[in-house]
């Protein structure tokens, strides 16, 4: 009895999954060769499988800078479909000047097409960073800041997510859908199966949901703590007081609403983060206000 094509696909992907990333395509070549020799699949089906396996092999590769850029643009498009940009050139210029300065003090000062910062017109207390270097900060987050040091702490935290590639790691877990999408597409081309065509649509939808997952669910606690740790380093390098990060978290703790669709939903509790930060900075000490910094910060805040 001839083995159904769908069963053969499952078997091939099982072999691939158990193989190391360097032997993925070799395993697929062997499997399809056996399949065509024994009559389980024909040459057209074998070609479809080979193309799918090539896609799967890519799931084990690092993203190139260009790929990071286009992935980040997609994430940015999702953010901007939910939030409107805040239409104030002076505020956005200020945020970009501060953000670019901090980015140069990070471990990843240069990325494909550079860093870009934008204020979102929302009362939510939130901030997002995409793999391409797009950093979004809501108006509500800015209103939580009492000093330029506090704002710098927010931006440094988001820059840290980028340099640590947290967004890419979240996407990597979903990249297998690309390989499966190709499998379904190639199968549909070879056999014209309505079921496979529907599968393709489902997988395409799951790929579109990756960016939504990043925005709605946030990073793991470990990632957030890592970003705080790197933010402390960035702030020290540029001359800002890292205790400003603690002050920012204290302020957010007073304003965040449990269960809300903002920082409270996507981040660990402010207190848990403060405890981790103080292990790096020592016990909290009130940040000394630098007059020149505070003056330009207040000029910006008045424009909100």
Q: What is the pLDDT of residues 201-210, one digit of tens each?
A: 543 443 354 4
* Domain count within the chain: 2
Is residue 161 domain-shared with residue 239, that is, in the same domain?
A: yes
Question: Residue 223: inside a domain, yes or no?
Answer: yes
Is residue 25 domain-shared with residue 75, that is, in the same domain?
A: no
Quick: pLDDT tens for 260-273. 555 555 567 888 89
Question: Residue 35: inside a domain, yes or no?
Answer: yes
Question: Residue 181: inside a domain, yes or no?
Answer: no
What pLDDT does residue 304 have?
A: 86
Is residue 40 domain-shared with residue 132, that is, in the same domain?
A: no
Is residue 97 domain-shared with residue 238, that is, in the same domain?
A: yes
φ/ψ of 223, rounded to 5, equals -65, -40
Is residue 145 domain-shared with residue 222, that is, in the same domain?
A: yes
Per-residue pLDDT, averaged over 102-110, amounts to 96
Confidence class of residue 60 from pLDDT cuts 50, 70 and 90? Answer: very low
In angstroms, the CA 144 to CA 148 distance is 11
Name the domain boundary from 61, 77, 106.
Answer: 61
Is residue 133 domain-shared with residue 278, that is, in the same domain?
A: yes
- Asked if residues 150 and 248 have their Cβ atoms less than 8 Å apart, the reply is yes
pTM for this structure? Answer: 0.70
Strands of the sheet containing 134-138, edge to edge, are 116-120, 134-138, 127-129
β-strand partners of 119 = 137
Question: Residue 202: inside a domain, yes or no?
Answer: no
In angstroms, the CA 149 to CA 71 distance is 30
Task: Residue 116: give the domain boundaries.
Answer: 65-168+217-301
Name the domain boundary from 61, 88, 106.
Answer: 61
- Asked if pLDDT for residue 178 goes beyond 60, the answer is no
Confidence class of residue 283 from pLDDT cuts 50, 70 and 90? Answer: very high
β-strand partners of 127 = 137
- Asked if pLDDT for residue 7 goes beyond 80, the answer is no
End-to-end CA gap in the chain:
72
What pLDDT does residue 13 have?
A: 47
Question: Residue 211: inside a domain, yes or no?
Answer: no
Name the domain boundary from 25, 46, 61.
Answer: 61
Is residue 17 domain-shared with residue 117, that is, in the same domain?
A: no
Is residue 55 domain-shared with residue 78, that is, in the same domain?
A: no
Question: Residue 198: inside a domain, yes or no?
Answer: no
């Amino acid at each position: 009895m001839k083995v159904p094509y769908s069963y053969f696909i499952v078997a091939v992907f099982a072999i691939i999954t158990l193989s190391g990333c360097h032997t993925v395509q070799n395993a697929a070549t062997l499997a399809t060769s056996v399949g065509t020799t024994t009559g389980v699949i024909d040459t057209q089906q074998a070609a479809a499988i080979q193309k799918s396996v090539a896609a799967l092999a890519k799931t084990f590769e690092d993203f190139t800078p260009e790929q990071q850029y286009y992935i980040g643009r997609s994430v940015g498009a999702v953010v901007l479909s939910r939030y409107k940009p805040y239409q104030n050139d002076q505020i956005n210029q200020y945020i970009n000047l501060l953000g670019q300065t901090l980015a140069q003090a990070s471990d990843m000062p240069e990325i494909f097409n550079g860093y870009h910062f934008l204020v979102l017109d929302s009362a939510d207390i939130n901030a997002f960073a995409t793999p391409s270097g797009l950093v979004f900060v809501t108006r509500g987050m800015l209103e939580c800041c009492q000093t330029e040091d506090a704002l710098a702490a927010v931006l440094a935290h988001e820059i840290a997510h980028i340099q640590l590639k947290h967004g890419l790691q979240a996407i990597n877990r979903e990249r297998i859908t690309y390989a499966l999408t190709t499998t379904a597409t190639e199968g549909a081309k070879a056999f014209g199966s309505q079921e496979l065509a529907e599968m393709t649509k489902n997988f395409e939808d799951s790929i579109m949901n990756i960016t939504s997952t990043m925005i709605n669910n946030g990073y793991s606690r470990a990632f957030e703590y890592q970003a705080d740790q790197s933010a402390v380093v960035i702030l020290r390098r540029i001359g800002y007081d890292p205790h400003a990060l603690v002050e920012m978290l204290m302020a957010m703790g007073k304003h965040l609403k449990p269960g809300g669709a903002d920082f409270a939903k996507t981040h660990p509790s402010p207190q848990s983060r403060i405890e981790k930060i103080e292990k790096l900075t020592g016990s909290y000490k009130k940040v000394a206000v630098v007059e020149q910094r505070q003056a330009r910060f207040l000029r910006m805040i008045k424009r909100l």
